[in-house]
Amino acid sequence: RSAERDAAADAADEAARDLASHAWPSPAAVPGWGLPEGQGRDDQTTDRDPHPRAINAGVWATHGARGADKMEDRHVVIRELGGIRGAHLLGVFDGHRGHECAEFAHRNVEAALRGCWGRHADPADALIEAFERLDAAFVEAFERVEDGASASASAGAESATAASARRRRPGCTACVALLWGDDLYVANAGDCRAVLCRDYDAGSHVALSVDHAAGTNASERERIAALGGTLTRRIGGWRVGDAGLAVTRALGDADVKRDGVIATPEVTRTRLDANDAYVVLACDGLWDVCSNDDVVSMIRDTVKEPSMCAKRLGAEALTRASGDNITVVVAFVKDVSTAELVTWERAF
């Protein structure tokens, strides 16, 4: 009996290691997505612009009111993606029913995208495939983890029925921005959000994603209903499936896929110009209590250092009693006033 328990525990540990570091195929060839001259890999033989578009990004994250042991948000900021000048990847991942799916996406989104981007003429299609591959890989890997835990339980006193009843199905929402030269692609599945400030002085801005929340997105509810999924109205709004999921698109969540929850993101493409200032990506811990207008207004009144801006937004969300984890990424896509940067440096 003891040997069986040890073997089951070893199997569970092995599965957990696999979940943390999924083996992806080797990166595919760099796609021909038409970076402007001067932006690309160092081994390309194009005339070089000495100032390819860069980003200056900062992040602020907190567990907030949920407590330190309930931090389920993750994020990525990857500059010069794949060694390509002018290519950058940003992302926020908001876990639910556990942190595992968000952690998996955080660790593997770059590999998932680079592993498939050579097959697509359009970056939007590559982002869609990357999301779907992350979803399938996580569900498969986590099943192995749970199978190992179930084997361990069955070797002990816990019955198979009890082990099945406590089986978890974590998931996460995801919002990922790919800056490719002057094109900004945003892939979103769930209720994270991306907002672009199009003119800093005027404060004009545009949302680059649509929230896939069952309670606020009627077209998503119609999609779920058309697929025969279960929708129920509960305190706090509409929910999907027996699990009562608040979103209609997410990675993971294997038990509500039959109800129409999908990992396929909606992707937008925005051509940046000289006026575009910054993009904000954040989980719903911010957007639940701050509007797009609020966010742009607060950044306008904050020193233009991205980490300071992100902290300002997150701190305001706490002040407004956000009940969720809060993660904010702010990325400036053009140079800001040197005077403002100097002021910040002197202040600290």
Which residue shows structure tokens 């992707």? 267
List the one residue out of 8, 17, 194 whose CA is nearest residue 104: 17
Q: How confident is the prediction along the chain (348 residues), in pLDDT tens digits per residue?
A: 555 555 544 544 454 455 555 666 667 777 878 665 555 555 443 333 334 788 999 999 999 988 888 999 999 999 999 999 899 999 999 999 999 999 999 999 999 999 999 899 999 999 999 999 999 999 999 988 776 655 555 555 555 554 555 578 999 999 999 999 999 999 999 999 999 999 988 889 999 999 999 999 999 999 999 999 999 998 878 999 999 999 999 999 999 999 999 999 999 999 999 999 999 999 999 999 999 999 999 999 998 899 999 999 999 999 999 999 999 999 999 876 544 543 444 333
The answer to whether 240 and 229 have CB atoms below 8 angstroms apart is yes
CA distance 204 to 245: 33
Question: If you write DSSP's letter for every residue of 71-85 in order, what string do you get?
Answer: --EEEEEESSGGG-T
SS3 229: coil
Residue ranges in 25-122 assigned as alpha helix (H): 100-114
User: In whole angstroms, what is the distance from residue 319 CA to residue 298 CA?
Assistant: 13
Of 282, 329, 287, 275, the C-alpha closest to 306 is: 329
Q: What pLDDT does 16 receive?
A: 46
**What's the confidence (pLDDT) of residue 23?**
64
**Bridge partners of residue 256, in order along the sequence:** none
d(CA 139, CA 19): 10
Note the pTM of the prediction, 2 decimals: 0.85
Contact 96, 72 (CB under 8 A): yes
By the 8 A CB rule, do 124 and 185 touch? Answer: yes
Tally of CB atoms within 10 A around 119: 12
| Token pair for 184 | 């900004």
Predicted local confidence at residue 29, as pLDDT: 74
Mapped onto helix, strand or coil, the DSSP state of residue 259 is helix
Q: What is the pLDDT of residue 37?
A: 52
pLDDT at res. 45: 35
